[in-house]
């Protein structure tokens, strides 16, 4: 299995298994949170200066759709909207303590689910997987850098 297309097919299949493990961890969480709302919380957690237009862009949706997602999250106490102190016309999105706990709990559940699967693998295979994932990440970074330089 040397051809890149054969490896790509194997990686795709493995990624589907990985997504299934992560999804089971998400669904088991209480309260259950829909994937789109979880994506909003993840984006806001990654950038403390997220406003509605940046969120819509990151989600690749129109601002009204992003606003409706935020309405739902705000109604459940997982998100707050506040005026941006730098520009009062802008609305900044902030996580609440409840959403921070939810994200921490989800991260722990996902890591536990992944650990359970990884423990069923031989130690050498885990090390090979780690090296392969690190090489993949490095190749992705190199591709992005090349793309930025030529763009």
Q: What is the reported pLDDT for 150?
A: 43
Residue 65 CA: distances (Å) to CA of 62, 72, 76 = 6, 11, 17
**57 in a domain, yes or no?**
yes
Res 145: pLDDT: 56
Is position 131 within any domain?
Answer: no
Q: How many domains does the chain have?
A: 1
> What pLDDT score was predicted for residue 142?
65
Domain that holds residue 60: 4-120
Reading the block at residue 36, the tokens are: 């789109």
Taking only the tens place, the pLDDT of each residue in 40-61 is: 999 999 998 899 999 999 999 9
Say if 34 falls within a structural domain.
Answer: yes
CA separation, residue 26 to residues 21, 96, 103, 106 (Å): 9, 19, 10, 6
CATH number of the domain at 67, please: 1.10.10.10
Predicted pLDDT at 151: 43
Domain annotation covers residue 78? yes
pLDDT at 118 over 90: yes
Note the pLDDT tens digit of each residue in 13-45.
899 999 999 888 888 877 778 999 999 999 999
Q: Model-level pTM greater than 0.85?
A: no
Beta carbons of 59 and 50 less than 8 angstroms apart: no
Backbone angles phi, psi at 34, to 5 degrees: -60, 150
Q: Are strands 87-95 and 79-84 parallel, antiparallel or unpaired?
A: antiparallel
140: in domain: no
95 lies in some domain: yes
Domain assignment present for 125: no
């Amino acid at each position: 299995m040397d051809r890149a297309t054969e490896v790509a097919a194997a990686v795709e299949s493995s990624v589907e298994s990985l997504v299934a493990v992560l999804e089971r961890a998400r669904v088991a969480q209480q309260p259950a949170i829909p994937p789109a709302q979880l994506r909003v919380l993840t984006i806001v957690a990654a950038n403390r200066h997220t406003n509605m237009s940046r969120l819509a862009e990151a989600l690749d949706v129109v601002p009204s759709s992003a606003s409706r997602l935020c309405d739902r999250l705000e109604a459940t106490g997982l998100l707050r909207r506040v005026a941006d102190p730098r520009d009062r016309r802008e609305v900044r999105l902030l996580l609440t303590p409840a959403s921070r706990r939810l994200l921490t709990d989800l991260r722990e559940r996902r890591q536990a689910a992944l650990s359970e699967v990884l423990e069923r693998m031989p130690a050498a295979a885990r090390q090979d997987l780690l090296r392969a994932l690190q090489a993949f990440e490095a190749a992705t970074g190199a591709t992005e850098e090349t793309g930025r330089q030529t763009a």
